[in-house]
Structure 1
């Protein structure tokens, strides 16, 4: 190996060591993603405690222990962070509900009880999540015309629609009618959840669960009776 080659290799090694020292073994993309995740977690904590409208970008950065330039590296404004957080939490909530429903399949009554119990338990155990989804998201949607939030909440309608079709595959109703029923059930559960969350979960879980269950059980009983009479 020539002296020139040796010097070049040493220079390359120093360059690599400098990069490793600078990024602590992580690539620039990985570090950026790590900062983004920190901001998301900080947002969940801050919005969950104080509400979206009481929290500033500076508050989020202080929570995440990052400077504001790193915030704008990942998000254009606080609305964008909030929307990302909302989608993340909705995914968690829906996964919990769907898992509970499927584990209780195929008995409709057990599926109803399990799904609603999973929903209410997740909310009560995570008051910050509950506030973000059922209080702040509704206000943000109304004041900022956030179509994404509206569309995401409609996922619950599709989940209810799927539940009806799964438990009552021979139901004599049109797709449009079932869709309207799912919309009504979703609105019913949403309003109960909002009231429960805003009250600080004062009513017992059993009372809220009973109130939520009654319309689903009535639906099952109604369609079962009509099926027998056909």
Structure 2
């Protein structure tokens, strides 16, 4: 026979609390709060991505999410906090798409370049709300509201491109500080093209935009390859 543990006042109190939490559609209070937070995030993507951060109020977000304003402040202190949360979520999604495409490409550097850039541009064109939030509103929010996290997060693209350069040219014998600066330059180049493309509502064909982005990566590949060949030649001569 299984021995039953004595029911203490504390145990009974805990049980009552758990039962109370699960009175609404089988969800606990914590689960309901998380569900409301997710609804606010999705509403924010829809509203900010359609109208722009500065044209959207907390009330607009709540109307879109079909929640009262008190639930907004349950999860976020202010609009900028929701925007930052959305920005981080979208950046993660964009970076994952790009890195997955690069890793699935063949070892040919040119094919890796095309795969990464195609994944970036395709993701933006297929998700215009994401594109607007990342490449238009985030820049303005960062500048006007001193959102250091947005600046730091955009720097992750520098590091991603640096990792890509090392993956593309695994035998590259260049100082890390040089590769880091080059990665920052590449990021800035592609970012400015992306901003122009997004602001024009994707009027130029993706083929043209891809070609423009590809040029600088191919030039880098050629320049570094020539340096490596010259280095190997000099080393052979000295030997």
TM-score by length of 1: 0.91
1:64 is matched with which residue?
65
1:108 is matched with which residue?
109
- Residues 69, 27 of structure 1: CA spacing in aligned structure 2 closer, same or farther, 3 A cutoff? same
2:49 is matched with which residue?
48
Q: 1:24: how far off?
A: 1.1
1:176 is matched with which residue?
177
- Residues 66, 173 of structure 1: CA spacing in aligned structure 2 closer, same or farther, 3 A cutoff? same
1:120 is matched with which residue?
121
Structure 1 stretches lacking a partner, 5+ long = 1-11
Deviations 1:96-150 (Å, cap 9, x if unpaired)? 0000000014211011000000000000011000000000000001111111001
Confirm whether residue 130 of structure 1 aligns to residue 131 of structure 2. yes
The answer (yes or no) to whether the contact 2:102–2:112 under 8 Å persists in 1 is yes
1:153 is matched with which residue?
154
Quote the RMSD (CA, aligned, Å).
Answer: 1.7
- Residues 77, 218 of structure 1: CA spacing in aligned structure 2 closer, same or farther, 3 A cutoff? same
The answer (yes or no) to whether the contact 2:105–2:115 under 8 Å persists in 1 is yes
Q: 1:174: how far off?
A: 0.8
Distance 1:18 1:162 in 2: 50
Structure 2 stretches lacking a partner, 5+ long = 1-12, 232-239
Distance 1:155 1:105 in 2: 24
Distance 2:206 2:22 in 1: 52
Distance 2:171 2:23 in 1: 63
1:28 is matched with which residue?
29
Distance 2:177 2:120 in 1: 26
- Residues 49, 22 of structure 1: CA spacing in aligned structure 2 closer, same or farther, 3 A cutoff? same
1:215 is matched with which residue?
216
Q: Which moved more, 1:20-29 or 1:208-217?
A: 20-29
Q: Which runs of 4+ in 1 moved over 6 A?
A: 15-18
Q: 1:172: how far off?
A: 2.7
Distance 1:128 1:169 in 2: 36
Confirm whether residue 83 of structure 1 aligns to residue 87 of structure 2. no
Distance 1:56 1:155 in 2: 29
Deviations 1:149-204 (Å, cap 9, x if unpaired)? 01101111101101111121222321111100000000000000000000000000
Q: 1:22: how far off?
A: 3.4
Distance 2:47 2:216 in 1: 35
Query: Residue 202 of structure 1 aligns to a residue in which SS?
Result: coil
